[in-house]
Amino acid sequence: MDSSSEQNIAYDLALKILIIGDSGVGKTSLVLSFTSKYTEYSAPTIGVDFKIKYLTVGGKKLKLTIWDTAGQERFRTLISSYYRSAQGILLVYDVTRRETFTNLTDVWTKEVDLYSTNKNCIKMLVGNKVDKESERVVSREEGIELAKQLGCLFYECSAKTKKNVDQCFQELALKIMKGPGDSGVGKTSLVLSFTAKYTEYSAPTIGVDFKIKYLTVGGKRLKLTIWDTAGQERFRTLITSYYRAAQGILLVYDVTRKETFTNLSDVWTKEIDLYSTNKNCIKMLVGNKVDKESERAVSREEGIELAKQLGCLFYECSAKTKENVDQCFHELALKTYPCAVHVVVTLPSMEFF
Ligand SMILES: Nc1nc2c(ncn2[C@@H]2O[C@H](COP(=O)(O)OP(=O)(O)OP(=O)(O)O)[C@@H](O)[C@H]2O)c(=O)[nH]1
Ligand SMILES: [Mg+2]
């Protein structure tokens, strides 16, 4: 590869990222810190500028096009057209200037709602200039709280010291690649089908829900606490803490949606490796919605093959017809039982992140 010529650089995926926020918060400095190097003096951006950076994230070669916009009000109309195609948006504030933080709610998120047509766009709140700790007026906790409210990822960083700068962009790219989330694979339906009864309509889970079911397996009466987690990307951080205590994990995909299946390797198993501290945790791959046989996009054989690779148990089932639903949970309980397991986490599926 000829690295002197940008055109010749090969990549798997091109992502567009937009940076917005008040003038002087350090948007240009962040982009420079990430793509080349921080310089103490940076003039206010006129209109929109862009930088390109190649990097490898999650095994994929990415070409990031970063649109660096002007914070000054007079450019607002001009930059509105750049929201449309952005797959990721960094909302930047300066931790030493409170008005830049409140303007995120008062100005910038309104612009996003107005102009961003990409519903799957991933947003990240970024508190910049943490090197000026003694001048800080916006606490880390306030930042986290607002990010939660807005459904954004969150980072604090310093364009000057480069602290967390690479991490911001990498995390954003990773989340964009993971897609909007694996909502809708049928985790909640599965839990309801097992503990109560299947209902045709089930709203996306918000955060984490749980159900308890008592059952007798191998002559022992067990109490199963089933944590039903949200598949949507924006809840990902929240649910990580639930992995820790899980003695069994159901990894659910939708047999009619191939991407929910590929996300198992791309996303969910990585999350488990990262957050599950129980080495004896029993995992089970579950292909849901087999009642929709005519729409099937993932074969039983592919499921079995992946389960083998991941060292998981395997079942195909239908929350709707209840086919194999009891069997899934019984089998999982039976396998976890020797290590005194009562807890099951259902991992959703993916729309993911
Ligand atoms: N101490 C410190 N100063 C920073 C940091 N980031 C940016 N600055 C300074 O803040 C000033 C404004 O930075 P810019 O990057 O130009 O701000 P901007 O958000 O691009 O502003 P507009 O283009 O007008 O919207 C410059 O003097 C930078 O040197 C940082 O992390 N720490
Ligand atoms: Mg600028």
pLDDT in tens, 268-279: 777 777 777 677
Q: Which ligand is nearest to the CA of 134?
A: 1
Query: CA–CA distance from 295 to each of 188, 285, 321 (Å)?
Result: 21, 20, 16
Q: How far is the CA of 128 from the centre of ligand 1 (A)?
A: 9
**Cβ neighbours around 320 below 10 Å, total:** 19
127 close to ligand 1 (CB < 6 Angstrom) = no
Span 167-174, mean pLDDT? 92
The pLDDT-based confidence of 165 (bands split at 50, 70, 90) is very high
24 close to ligand 1 (CB < 6 Angstrom) = yes
pLDDT value at residue 339: 46
pLDDT in tens, 13-37: 889 999 999 999 999 999 999 998 8
Structure tokens at 182: 């694996």
Lowest mean pLDDT, pick from 91-105, 112-126, 324-338: 324-338
pLDDT value at residue 338: 52
Query: CA–CA distance from 125 to each of 95, 140, 159 (Å)?
Result: 12, 11, 15
70 close to ligand 1 (CB < 6 Angstrom) = yes
Residue bearing the CA closest to ligand 1, atom 16: 42
Mutate to test the pocket of ligand 1, among 18, 20, 23, 29 (most ligand atoms within 8 A of CB): 29
Q: Which DSSP helix (H) or strand (E) runs through 261?
A: helix 258-263
Domains of the chain, first to last: 3-178 (3.40.50.300), 187-343 (3.40.50.300)
pLDDT in tens, 223-247: 777 777 766 666 666 666 666 667 7
